[in-house]
Every structure is written in structure tokens, then in C-alpha cells.
Structure 1
Amino acid sequence: MKRTPEPELMQIPSQVRAYAEADFSRSDSMVVKSLEKYLKKIGRTLNKSDLIFDMACGPGNIAERIAKNWPFVNVVGIDGSKEMLNEAENKLSENFKKNLSYQLIDINSITTGEIYFPFKADIIVSNSALHHFHDPHSFWGALKKIGKTKCIHIHRDLIRPTSEEKAFEVKEKHLSDSPGILKKDFHASLKASFTVEEVSQQLVDAGLSQLEVFQLDELYFEIIGCI
């Protein structure tokens, strides 16, 4: 199935609210678990000087989980949608305000140099971010600019199905009881996503071949490593 890009930013209030209210807890928790496993694998212990970016953080679900898991580490959620960050900040509890904050930044503008972000991360994570970019190299370009040397990366995203029929089948299998607007957006996201082979080539082209990409299940691939 040929890739069909979707809007880069989720701005429509009804879409934002449906996404914010959806239960993505399993997928969100897996990002944190992957980070825990990788830190253990490389023998890395986080400390209070470390900085973690959650790119295209949306309503802040993963940023909050990371802030809770490592309360002594500074966590910054970055997104280009003001509506999404409003959702994130509205539910930000007092418990997280000491080590979690949000920044409204168009990630493409980091790549082009229109915005200079003065801080560099020790760890960068994202979930279902890559497929929103019309030009995926813009995403990788931004990550290279805002990560420190030896920055740890954990990125997950959807895998584009092989056909329109398969996309419909996957949507009905995983979101059968979800609101219509969420099912519609999920279907669009599947069509906008990349294959594992395409992502592998993107990493080579971006000079990021040190990162490993592999398929997790029928829905997701994961990119992990240190650059």
C-alpha cells in the first residue's frame, strides 16, 4: 500500500480530545519499559543532571510516566500542537511540576534552524511521532541537533499495512469499540506510517545507522540505540 501522509499536527479540538481520552496505556508503558531495559543493558544509571525529551509528546502521557519513574530527572515534552499541549498541561499534577514541563515547538523548525533550542538531551523518546512528518528526514534532522553525544534513543511507531484491506482489518481488530473519530484517525495513521525497511533506509540516509530498528508485532516497530 502506497503511503498517504496525514496532517503533521493534530489541531482539531474534537480529534485532540478523542486522542487524549483514549486508552493507550499499554503502548505508552512499553516505551518506558524499553527505556528501562536498555539502560540496564548498557549499565547506565540516570542522575539529576540528565535531561529527557519526549518528542511530539501529544497530551503528555509518556512524559508523565517518565517523570514519575525518574522523579529526579528533568523531562521536557515537545509538541507543535497548542491544543495537545493544553491537554497535557491541564492534567499536569503538582507531583510532576518539579521535573516535567512542556514546550510548544514545531519540530520541523529545529531542523531548518528557524528555532534554536539551547538545551541538548541525554535521552530522546517518541511514540507514534515519525509517521506525522511529511518528510521523515526532518524528524531525524531535529533529533541530531538536540541530542548530546551518546544520546540514547527510543522511538516507536506504527507499521504501514501491506494493503487497504489489511489496514481496515487491523483497525477493526484493535479499535473495534473506539469512537468513530478515533478509528478514522487511526486508519489515517496506518496509511501514513512507514515500513521497517523504509525506516532502516531513513536511518542510513540520516547518518544514524547506529540505531537498530526492528518489528515488535503487527502494529509497531521500535528504534533503539545510542548515537
Structure 2
Amino acid sequence: MNDPLQVQAYAAADFAASDQALVECIEQLLQQSGERLGAGDCLVDLGCGPGNISERLARHWPTCQVVAVDAAPQMIAAAESNRRRAGIARERLRYVLSPLPWHGLQSRASLIVSNSLLHHLHDPQKLWSGLRLLAGRRCLVVHRDLRRPPSALALDQLCERYVADAPEVLQRDYRASLQAAFTLEEVRAQLRDAQLAHLQVRELEDRYLEIHGWITGCQAGLDQSSA
């Protein structure tokens, strides 16, 4: 997504509620597992767009390093501008221009997140194989995306409910995103193919999927005996 009009529209849109909900979900999953993120931990945001979630991660876990990756130069430029405006040091929040899979941080990540990335990928395994490359010894992964509606009528209803008053570019992209999104069973099949079938997949509300769980040992590209 590198069209200047798209970048401008997404940067201006208000996703605060859903972005904060993702951060709260991460915190809840950490607490349920008795884990904490702190100094020395690296948090990775894949498909970061203009950096909304990346900034929230940096603020919520101020002693961690956040590395955010996107394949669109215009999005990275917008994210860098937002970072400077927010006064967050580059040492704490670093943006990387790269397609997936990204190999720049092998076996170091303690948290890997993405929001509305999966449906943009022609090959979903670029995301799932990337998790295995990036994840450290014990890494929480949390991914949210749209799910494909079961019918054309359901598609129309979702568009009317959520983007009827949005700019035309967002209306068009939202419809296309819903059409390109995956179902719960399709994502489960992708995870089985990637040997990540232990990750949990659930439907949220009337339009989302959430994938979460922990990658450890050989599932993170490490020898199981060293876990």
C-alpha cells in the first residue's frame, strides 16, 4: 500500500480504539502466562503502516526496543514523521523498509504482532515462516486481521456499518480487504502447513480473526534441547 492518497487516508483515520484493544490483548496474554516484557526484549510490528501500533508498543513498554517493518516506502516515511512528532527516540523505535519474510532480527524477538497484514499477502506463508525466523527462545505472537464475510450480502452490510461515512479511498480499500481476507479454517490450514498448529485462532466480533500463542524452542528456529 504505497499510493500517497491511501497513505494519507490511513494516517489520518482514527483507529485508536482497535489499536489500544490490541495492546490490551497483548498485556492480558502476558499476564495469563506469567510473563513480562522489559529491558533487553525486542518487539516486532510487521506491516506497521504509519506506525500507530508501533508507537503504542513503544509507550506501553518503554524499556523495550520496537522494530517495525513495512514494504511500502510511503508508509515508512509517514511512520518516521509520526515518530519524530511523538518525540520517540530512534533507538527505542526503529522503522525498516522491507518485504516479508524479513531476516534482519533472527531469533531475537520476544513479541511479534501484526494488524491487518495477512490479507495483503499473496503468499500467507511469508508471514508464518517469518515468525519462525524472528522469534526468540520464548516469543508471544499476536496477529489480528479481517475475516472474509460468508456472502455478498454480508459484505455489503459490513461496508455499510463501518465505512459508509469514510473517505472513498477507505471505502474501496475496506471492501477489497474483506474480499481478500481469509476464513478461520483457511488460517488454521495455513498454520498447519507452517507447523504452527498450536497457535490459537478465534473469531472476534463480526469481522475479525485473532491468532495468538507462544513460539518456543525448535519452533523458533532453535534446538529444542536448549529451550
Answer yes or no: is 1:221 the counterpart of 2:206: no
Question: What are the within-5 Å matches in structure 2 for residues 111-126 of structure 1?
Answer: 116-119=103-106, 120-126=108-114
Distance 1:54 1:209, change over 3 A: same
Q: 1:44 — aligned with what?
A: 35
**In the TM superposition, what whole-angstrom CA distance separates every residue of 1:111-152 from its partner, at most 9, and x where no partner exists?**
xxxxx4244311100000011001111211111111113211
Q: 1:77 aligns with which of 51, 62, 68?
A: 68
Task: Verify the 8 A CA contact 1:159 1:196 in the aligned structure 2.
Answer: yes
Supply the distance in 2 between the matched residues of 1:204 and 1:150 (Cα, whole angstroms). Answer: 20
Supply the distance in 1 between the matched residues of 2:16 and 2:30 (Cα, whole angstroms). Answer: 21
**In the TM superposition, what whole-angstrom CA distance separates every residue of 1:54-93 from its partner, at most 9, and x where no partner exists?**
0000000000001011111100110010100111011112
Q: 1:91 — aligned with what?
A: 82
Question: What are the within-5 Å matches in structure 2 for residues 1-227 of structure 1?
Answer: 10-92=1-83, 93-108=86-101, 110=102, 116-119=103-106, 120-227=108-215
Task: Verify the 8 A CA contact 1:159 1:190 in the aligned structure 2.
Answer: yes
Identical columns (%): 42
- TM-score if structure 2 supplies the norm length? 0.90
Supply the distance in 2 between the matched residues of 1:190 and 1:118 (Cα, whole angstroms). Answer: 31
| Structure 1 gap ranges (5+) | 1-9, 111-115
- TM-score if structure 1 supplies the norm length? 0.90
Task: Verify the 8 A CA contact 1:158 1:194 in the aligned structure 2.
Answer: yes
Task: Verify the 8 A CA contact 1:64 1:96 in the aligned structure 2.
Answer: no
Task: Verify the 8 A CA contact 1:68 1:96 in the aligned structure 2.
Answer: no
**In the TM superposition, what whole-angstrom CA distance separates every residue of 1:174-221 from its partner, at most 9, and x where no partner exists?**
112111110000100000100011111111111001210001111111
Deviates more, 1:62-71 or 1:92-101: 92-101
Deviates more, 1:21-30 or 1:187-196: 21-30
Task: Find runs of 4+ consecutive structure 1 residues off by over 3 angstroms.
Answer: 95-98
Question: Per-residue deviation at 1:96?
Answer: 4.5
Structure of higher RCO (CA pairs closer than 8 Å, 6+ residues apart): 1
TM-align CA RMSD: 1.2
Supply the distance in 2 between the matched residues of 1:131 and 1:214 (Cα, whole angstroms). Answer: 16
Task: Verify the 8 A CA contact 1:159 1:193 in the aligned structure 2.
Answer: yes
Work out the number of aligned pairs and report it: 212
Supply the distance in 1 between the matched residues of 2:31 and 2:42 (Cα, whole angstroms). Answer: 18
Task: Verify the 8 A CA contact 1:122 1:148 in the aligned structure 2.
Answer: yes
Q: Secondary structure at the match of 1:162?
A: coil
| Structure 2 gap ranges (5+) | 216-227
Distance 1:96 1:32, change over 3 A: farther
Q: Secondary structure at the match of 1:184?
A: helix
Q: 1:4 — aligned with what?
A: none
Q: Secondary structure at the match of 1:134?
A: coil
